[in-house]
Amino acid sequence: MIHIRQALFGCCFIAAFPVHAQSQAERLAQMMSKNYAMQSLQSVMLGDLEGARNFALRAFPPDPTEQEAMALPEAMFALEIAMGARIAHIDDEGTGLYSVDSTGTRAFAGFYDPRPEVNTQYVTPAIYDPRDGVLIGALEEVAASSSPEFSPEFSPDGKLLAYPTFPRAKVQLFSSEDGSLVRELTTDVSAPFDWLVPVPLGFSADGSQYAYGYHHDRGGILVWNVADGSLVSHLAAEGEGAETWVPLGWDHEGGFAVQKIINDTATGMVTNAGLERWSQDGGKVMLSDLAGVIETVSLKSITFPGVPLVFMSDEMRLAAIDLETGAVRFTTEVEFPEIALVRNGTAFAIRPFDIESLDDFQVFDLNGNRLQPTGRDLIPLAQAAVSRSGMIAAVPKNATRHTYLGQDLPEGVALYNAVWDGLDEPTQQAINLDRVVRP
């Protein structure tokens, strides 16, 4: 098992205080602020969000002005993460997958195989309130295994959780209100679904459809109407010889990004790969050759609603490819990344699987220009379920398309004031006894 300290991020700051002529009192105040902010992030790493909140508040002087708050970027960085992180403390010990809904009030945690004979040492599939770890409801009617590489995803409005299963293609929809089964998305198509490899593509941008990709028999995509469970599209691959197709994700116009793979018939090795777009009316368009962009099959891919980009990665590299032109927008070195759309859809935050410090996080705008990360940028990537012993119980995988982004948090000094005003008097008094003093 992994301790939460290893799984979230280190405590090395990337922001810097503005350089100007300072008095000794100002320098001391800034040093204290930075120290409290570091302790706040360390508390986040331990899953102690209450402690993280209190340390972050201590990093500000009492009743800070907007100007004072903005002059303490480390403090604001720490406060944004402390208030936006969704780290649920749950009773289950073991390992599992994790995802958080768009409202930040519901989370899924659970092992991908619910069978009792397999699941005795793992986290039971259930829905929680990630703010306090309260169990909302166990998913008692989970019927089969889900994919170990894709966390079950919430709908854009957070009202449904989709649990895709295999070896037969089926998606169970659960209510996030109480964990009850709402309906099942099924198909009467038998072959080729006996032993398919699932690639859950999740909900459409408006939540009206759900797509389930698969690798088996050259590859294909099933699309259901969420409201009534009807199958509205079955997009099957068409080809000969050694051609196969790997679904990557929804595109920005209600269709799909798909990787075409050509294998050497003698060795089975990939000899060429391309990027295609499939529409639900059956149209297929080749966008670009992926030679030299990533090695072999994309090991991890994701798209985001309304953004004409697909992210594809191999073991060491991530490429962002334009879904209208096929051009590579940018590449960066990162291993097994999680990616989130941030800043109102104008930038992406990227974290590798293993984190040693905040310097390992990357933020790019849509054109590939690297940006300075803020605490708010990292909110959708600061997610996990933690057991009572402090060990990681569940982690997110490809779970950021419709997740919580801290969008309801006030900005600047308004965030500080909202958090401070929500504390009881004894907590306020304790913080005031040990905090940054105004120079």
- Checking phi first, is residue 207 left (phi over 0); if not, alpha (psi -120 to 50) or beta? left
Pairing label, strands 153-154, 97-100: unpaired
Q: Which of 240, 247, 187, 191 is nearest to 214 (CA)?
A: 247
Under DSSP, the state recorded for 19 is P
Concatenate the DSSP letters of all residues of 336-371 into one string.
Answer: S-EEEEETTTTEEEEE-SS-SSGGG-EEEETTS-EE
Alpha carbons 401 and 408: distance in angstroms, whole number? 17
- Using the Cα atoms of residue 321, residue 325, residue 327 and residue 330 in order, give the sign of their dihedral: negative
DSSP-derived 3-state class of residue 61: coil
Closest CA to 197 of 146, 231, 139, 232: 146
Taken as a whole, the chain contains a residue count of 439
Q: Measured between alpha carbons, how far is 221 from 254 in angstroms, rounded to an integer?
A: 13
Q: What is the sign of the dihedral through the CA atoms of 304, 380, 351 and 33?
A: positive
Query: For position 13, what pLDDT does the model report?
Result: 44
- Comparing CA positions, the residue from 319, 320, 321, 313 lying closest to residue 337 is 313
Gap between the Cα atoms of 162 and 306, Å rounded: 21
pTM, whole model, 2 decimals? 0.89
Reduced to 3 states (helix: H, G, I; strand: E, B; else coil), residue 210 is strand
User: How confident is the model at residue 111, as a pLDDT?
Assistant: 84
Amino acid identity for residue 132 in this structure:
D
Per-residue pLDDT 10s for the chain (439 aa) are 444 544 555 444 434 344 455 678 778 888 999 999 999 998 988 889 999 999 999 999 999 999 999 999 999 999 999 999 999 999 887 788 999 999 999 999 998 876 666 656 678 899 999 998 899 999 988 877 888 889 999 999 999 999 998 877 889 999 999 999 999 999 876 545 556 678 999 999 999 999 999 887 778 899 999 999 999 999 988 777 677 888 999 999 999 999 888 766 666 666 678 899 999 999 999 998 887 777 666 667 899 988 999 999 877 889 999 999 999 999 998 888 899 999 999 999 998 877 777 778 899 999 999 999 999 999 999 999 998 888 888 989 999 999 999 999 999 999 999 999 999 999 999 999 999 988 7
Residue 315 is predicted with a pLDDT of: 77
Give me the pLDDT at residue 211, please.
Answer: 97
CATH architecture designation of domain 85-408: 7 Propeller (2.130)
Per DSSP bridges, beta strands 97-100 and 392-396 are parallel
Each domain of the chain, given as residue ranges in start order, spans: 4-79+414-432, 85-408
